[in-house]
Amino acid sequence: MTVIITFKFIHYLAIVFSGGVLVGSGVIQSIHAKANQIPDLTTGKILKLLGYIGLLSLIVLWVSGVILSINLYGGLIINSAFTIKIIAAGFLLGLSAFVNFHVLNSSKNNLPPNKTIMKIATMSGRGLLVIVLISAAIAFY
Ligand code: HEM
């Protein structure tokens, strides 16, 4: 009982963080794109930190999600909507890891992150998060 409540709380908190990162970094990027500007060094640092927070929150979502699935349903096979949810969550984790790696690599080479990669990644991230949330709503209704 306490384990489930604790991990549900952690799961929900991580959802807030991952969504916040996606919205926050999306707003920063779109404002720069509209002004035809590249983020300066400080904004770049903020975006990098947001990227780490996003990746960390997805890892927390996976750990807490797996613990909840095992405790509540005895494993990861619950229903088809849940399967779609974890596949989309897996893509989201992979995408976030890739973007963090790309940003780290670009800053090592003193280059700004690739605009097209960042735009596609932000858009895919939003789409995947919507898929995860819709399938979560269907899986547990
Ligand atoms: C981006 C990643 C994720 C998001 C946005 C997300 C979102 C959500 C949401 C909104 C709920 C509440 C659903 C409800 O109670 O009606 C939930 C519950 C849950 N999630 Fe996730 N989730 C994510 C990843 C995962 C992963 C990777 C797993 C497992 C491998 C998982 C397993 C669960 C379980 C077991 C519940 C509790 C269901 C219940 O209360 O009966 N989640 N998630």
Decide: 102 and 96 in contact? Cβ < 8 Å: no
pLDDT in tens, 9-36: 999 999 999 999 999 998 998 899 899 9
pTM: 0.94
What is the number of structural domains in the chain? 1
Q: What are phi and psi of 111, to 5 degrees?
A: -120, 150
Ligand 1: atom nearest CA of 140 is 16
Calculate how far, in angstroms, residue 135's C-alpha sits from the geometric centre of ligand 1. 9
Calculate how far, in angstroms, residue 138's C-alpha sits from the geometric centre of ligand 1. 11
Query: Domain containing 122: what range?
Result: 2-139
46 pLDDT tier (thresholds 50, 70, 90): very high
Please give the Cα distance from 128 to 46 (Å, whole number).
23
Ligand 1: atom nearest CA of 69 is 35
Using CB distances shorter than 6 Å, the residues near ligand 1 are 11, 15, 18, 58, 61-62, 65-66, 68-69, 72, 76, 86, 89, 92, 132-133, 136, 140
Q: What is the mean pLDDT of residues 91-115?
A: 92
% of the chain with per-residue pLDDT over 70? 100
Residue 42 CB neighbours (<10 A): 8
Q: Whose CA is nearest to atom 35 of ligand 1?
A: 69
pLDDT reading at 112 higher than 90: no
3-state DSSP call for residue 30? helix
- Identity of residue 56: L
Residue 111 has a pLDDT of 84
